[in-house]
Amino acid sequence: MTIEVRNLVKKFGSFAALDGVDLKVDNGELLALLGPSGSGKTTLLRIIAGLDWPDSGEVSFNGEDALAQGARERHVGFVFQHYALFRHMTVFENVAFGLRVQPRAVRKEEAAIRARVKELLDLVQLDWLADRYPSQLSGGQRQRIALARALAIEPRILLLDEPFGALDAKVRKELRRWLRSLHHEINVTSIFVTHDQEEALEVANRVVVMDKGRIEQIGSPDDVYESPATAFVHGFIGESI
């Protein structure tokens, strides 16, 4: 699934959170959206997912107008920074949730739901935690469950909003590596939001740098590292040398 965003503008009052954003994401790509806090990354993700609406501009999926569709029709998986797991449900039921609330016409039978959840828990290597509750899991485990839940509906697009931001450095590093290999396996068009330059350069095959509601640079991790167009990335390189 390709994603194309054209001249997207989103205002909150007179403030433009997105100030004319153009972006194309290729089928199967894992793209990192990098930028300082407040640069418009989450706003862009929410509009692509159908959780918010732009003032003007276009969003299309494989050439079809996505803005004409509601969030559910867009078939997008979303992973939030703070897991957003249901506390009163077991891990199994959390992952099954998206399948149980699908419209009746496409909803799977119970046996098929159970088989799919098992497959997903195997994929994130946490099958052994199926009967636990979120409060009994570590942060890294919770985020892997959140990812399994987002993948349950076989999304055409996967959006990850600072998915590892709440975790400590060691777990974050492990999960980055794991996400890269998982992405290789499932091959879903994905956008990964982060304000951590190292994370963006490590995880993605292409990096988009945003600042103040605009895209400042698009390039391979090497391009962005070697010839940064913004002070934000400069700051990182200065620190890391």
Which positions lie near ligand ADP, rule CB under 6 A?
A: 12, 17, 35, 37-43
Across 135-145, b (16+ Cβ under 10 Å) vs e yields: eebebbbbbbb
Q: Is the dihedral of CA 192, 195, 196, 202 positive or negative?
A: positive
Q: How far is the CB of 234 from ligand ADP (least distance, A)?
A: 18
Cα 78 from Cα 47, distance rounded (Å): 12
DSSP 132: S
Residue among 76 and 96 whose Cβ is closer to ligand ADP: 76
Residue the block writes with tokens 């892997």 = 144
Q: How far is the CB of 43 from ligand ADP (least distance, A)?
A: 3
Structure tokens at 8: 């997207």
Residue among 12 and 128 whose Cβ is closer to ligand ADP: 12
Residue among 40 and 140 whose Cβ is closer to ligand ADP: 40
User: Do residues 206 and 32 lie in contact, with contact meaning Cβ atoms separated by under 8 Å?
Assistant: yes
Q: How far is the CB of 218 from ligand ADP (least distance, A)?
A: 16
**CA distances to 24, 173, 205 from 184, in Å:** 20, 17, 11
User: Do residues 146 and 80 lie in contact, with contact meaning Cβ atoms separated by under 8 Å?
Assistant: yes
Counting every residue written for the chain, the total comes to 241
Q: How far is the CB of 169 from ligand ADP (least distance, A)?
A: 20
Q: How far is the CB of 9 from ligand ADP (least distance, A)?
A: 12
The Cα angle at residue 222 between residues 166 and 240, in degrees rounded to 5:
55
Q: How far is the CB of 40 from ligand ADP (least distance, A)?
A: 4
Residue among 51 and 171 whose Cβ is closer to ligand ADP: 51
Which helix (H) or strand (E) is 33 found in, with range? strand 30-34
Residue among 17 and 152 whose Cβ is closer to ligand ADP: 17
Structure tokens at 200: 């963006």
Residue among 21 and 121 whose Cβ is closer to ligand ADP: 21
